[in-house]
Amino acid sequence: MDTKSFFEEIFTSFQKVLKPGQAVLTAVSGGGDSMAMLHLLYHFRKRLTLDRVAVAHVNHGLRGAESDAEGELVQKTAATLGFECFTTKICLPAGQTKGIEAWGRANRYHYFVGLAQQQKFDRIATAHTLDDQAETVLMRLMRGTSLKGLAGILPERADGVVRPLLAVRREALRAWLRAHTIPFCEDSSNQNPAFARNWVRLCLLPEMRALNPAVDFTLASLASISLRLRETGEAGAAAWVKRFVALEQGPAFCIKKEGLTDAHDAADGLAALFTSLEIECSRHHILAIVAAAVKTGGELLLPGGWRCYPHGAHLSLVKNNPLKKQAGFSCELAIPGATECAEPGVSFTAEILEHHDQIGPPPKNAFISKDNCTIQLDADKIAGLFFRAGVADDCFWPLGADEPVALRSYLKNQKIPREKRASVGVVATGANEIVWIPGVQIGHAYRITSATTRILRLRYLPRSP
């Protein structure tokens, strides 16, 4: 490939992940890949119309004078190119002999991301190449991985990290550096096969290339295909969550059992749901939830204090039955007006209809919405209302019943799940007579009759998903 074609191919790669007006922080170790990225970015900075470019370097202090020399080269090069340079030095914890690569990687990214936030950089460019991608995919295959893992090194991350050289071979960059007599450092530890990645690079991949000279491209292509499939799967998982999951008051949600019939789709959907809610559940726990679809009753314990309760047509997932902690909440409703009840996280609206003919003829159940979240009552029978938690000695006279019953018994008969009965909120008068259980039923004594002249319309708005 001639120099012009090489430049244009690289420019296109940079253009995909860096946008006009952005401030870019380049992560430079002093090795060949990152030094090539730095010089290429210098050549492209005006064409890319970037706002500013700076350099960041981490000295891990693992190789003494060699590490120091890399830092000096990076600082000298940044100064020559006119780029601001940020450096830091970290030290390996005393006694640590394993996981050194992971330790270094975690600390590097912690520094880069923190620096970018502090200095207002939009993107953090790292110099991962096609060779790095092939090595990563192969290592994950050997370890065992999912479609997410097969996507390998991502071209762009949510934290602003981008990899503009991910489609470029390492040797192509080295050849370009040599052709332009650009100095770079060789990390001596990269020749130590005791490190897993080095063993893959130095021992395994050469043997694989003997069978398939294009194996690096094959592995990188597998990563690209997996990423596209992963993105498609994420869209499907989001659609599954939207269709089969309903968030409820407090840390709780309900899953329709019909969504668990396809174990693969359900597992992907649950994984996406738990990730979005920052619930740490393993694949084992997710499959246990899917298996619970055939059960009715019982309890499944999950990490973080979450519990799963199978019911007839759905599963309820709650966290440590947290709503019990709200047993003392009480919120007076504005009549007329709107009321936000912050503690249970719900709201109400209330309006008075002065004339019966404003709402038309009253056929059966005309004054109650299907979900029982909008109801109408006889306003003249109500002086003031409060939304509060139900208590152990509450009684309730349901619409159409002959007499009052214990609230807990009524909720049980209405198939309200056991874990929710103690946290059901009720609308009651100042004398503690229950007027309405939102989403369930109104009180018989407050129903609209032929003698009603003023109507109170209440609307209950539970917490949005």
Q: Which residue among 291, 320, 349 closes a domain?
A: 320
CA–CA gap between residue 46 and residue 39 (Å, rounded)? 13
Same domain assignment for residues 339 and 293 = no
- Closest to 389 (Cα-Cα) out of 368, 372, 408: 408
Q: What is the pLDDT of residue 434?
A: 92
User: Could you give the 3-state DSSP secondary structure of residue 89?
Assistant: strand
**Cα distances (Å, whole numbers) of residue 245 to 87, 104, 337:** 47, 40, 31
Cα 129 off chain centre by: 28
* Residue 240 in domain: no
pLDDT-based confidence at 326, cuts 50/70/90? very low
* C-alpha triplet 316, 319, 324: angle, nearest 5°: 100
Report the CATH number at residue 179.
3.40.50.620
Burial of 121 (0-12, 13-18, 19+ CB in 10 A): buried
Q: In this predicted model, what pLDDT tens digit does every residue of 400-428 receive, in sequence order?
A: 988 888 888 888 888 877 767 767 889 99
- How far CA 114 is from CA of 90, 192, 363, in Å, comes to 15, 31, 64
pLDDT tens column, 359-405: 544 444 445 667 788 999 998 888 789 998 888 778 899 999 888 88
CA angle at residue 29 from 24 to 30, to 5 degrees?
Answer: 110
User: Domain total for the chain?
Assistant: 3
Judgement on whether residues 46 and 7 belong to the same structural domain of the protein: yes
Q: Token pair of 63, please?
A: 């190789």
Strand boundaries in 289-384, DSSP class E: 300-301, 306-310, 314-319, 330-332, 337-341, 346-353, 374-378
Total length of the chain:
465
Report pLDDT digits (tens) over 343-354: 777 899 999 987
Same domain, 258 and 392: no
Range of the structural domain that residue 410 is part of: 326-461
**Integer angstrom CA distances of residue 156 from 139, 140, 186, 313, 335:** 20, 19, 27, 41, 52
Please, what is the average pLDDT of the chain? 86
Which residues does 81 contact at the CB level (< 8 Å), separation at least 6?
A: 38, 39, 42
Residues 253 and 331 in one domain: no
- Burial of residue 211 (number of CB atoms within 10 Å: 0-12, 13-18, 19+): exposed
Say yes or no: 345 and 421 in one domain: yes
| 206/217 Cα distance (integer angstroms) | 14
Residue 422: which residues within 8 A CB-CB, separation 6 or more?
321, 323, 324, 327, 390
Q: Give domain status of residue 242, yes or no.
A: no
Residues 7 and 110 in one domain: yes
Asked whether residue 374 falls in the same domain as residue 454, the answer is: yes
Helices (H), 245-386: 263-276, 283-291
